[in-house]
Homo-oligomer: A and B are copies of this chain.
């Protein structure tokens, strides 16, 4: 359950987002002013802050800066359309991303996931893709409910790949992230590890469902 704190003065927007976010599975709490928002932060830390730029009491930038002073909670700015200066200022103040109002829930959801992935590695330690479940805190993997035992290297490889679903990772990148040594020459090491991983999590390694080969570039995790 991902907890999000929304700081927004317009009651209409609050209601709308409350509905949309809870439907997407988020735990949304709201504050109507900057002061109230900061106070809420002092108590229970959310996973992310959605921050409206225009607030009645404090400047959005100021709130953002104070949030960042005390915590490392990521912040997404909500700005009015087409205000480029605000974007620069917001990012300067430490915001991780910005979204233009009014935003479609799907867009907001995607941005939230992206920011959470970047900052913490994953939203809640549990990644589910089709019938594959990866628990990134317990370091366990199960397929169709059946537990799958992975070796350390296989686990690190799967974690790295699944951290960026849909994204192509080059062998170079994988070598850096999984093995942590920076080869320059090419190496069949990655290919081999992928093959071993596939043998354990794929039903048919010849037609991989999760770890896909992108010829000439690298590997990509996840069904498109």
The interface of chain A, by Cβ under 8 A from chain B, is 1, 19, 22-23, 25, 84, 87-88, 91, 94-98, 106-107, 109-111, 113-114, 118-119, 123-124, 135, 137-140, 147, 151-153, 155, 164, 166-169, 172-173, 176-177, 182, 214-217, 220, 224
**Contact residues in B for A107 (Cβ distance below 8 Å):** 91, 94, 123
Is A151 touching B91 in the complex (CB atoms < 8 A)? no
15 A-B pairs (CB sep. < 8 Å) = A1-B217, A22-B172, A25-B164, A25-B167, A84-B118, A91-B111, A96-B106, A97-B114, A114-B124, A137-B167, A137-B168, A138-B224, A139-B214, A147-B224, A155-B216
**Contact residues in B for A113 (Cβ distance below 8 Å):** 97
* Cα–Cα distance between A177 and B91 once the two chains are bound (Å): 32
Is B97 touching A176 in the complex (CB atoms < 8 A)? no
Is B173 touching A87 in the complex (CB atoms < 8 A)? no
CB distance from A164 to the nearest CB of B (A): 7
**Contact residues in B for A182 (Cβ distance below 8 Å):** 19
* Cα–Cα distance between A140 and B212 once the two chains are bound (Å): 12
Is A220 touching B114 in the complex (CB atoms < 8 A)? no
Is A88 touching B84 in the complex (CB atoms < 8 A)? no
**Contact residues in B for A151 (Cβ distance below 8 Å):** 215-216
Beyond A106-B119, A138-B167, A224-B138, whether A152 also contacts B111 by CB under 8 A is no
**Contact residues in B for A87 (Cβ distance below 8 Å):** 114, 118
* Cα–Cα distance between A137 and B164 once the two chains are bound (Å): 10
Which residue from B109, B110, B153, B169 sits with its C-beta under 8 Å from A25? B169
* Cα–Cα distance between A94 and B111 once the two chains are bound (Å): 10
CB distance from A46 to the nearest CB of B (A): 17
Is B217 touching A152 in the complex (CB atoms < 8 A)? yes
* Cα–Cα distance between A195 and B185 once the two chains are bound (Å): 33
**Contact residues in B for A176 (Cβ distance below 8 Å):** 19, 22-23
The 7 A-B pairs of least Cβ separation, nearest first, read: A152-B216, A139-B168, A138-B166, A137-B167, A96-B110, A139-B214, A91-B114
With A110-B123, A151-B216 given, can you name 17 additional A-B contacts, CB distance below 8 Å? A22-B172, A22-B173, A22-B176, A23-B173, A23-B176, A25-B164, A88-B114, A91-B107, A106-B119, A107-B123, A114-B124, A135-B166, A137-B167, A138-B167, A138-B220, A147-B224, A152-B217
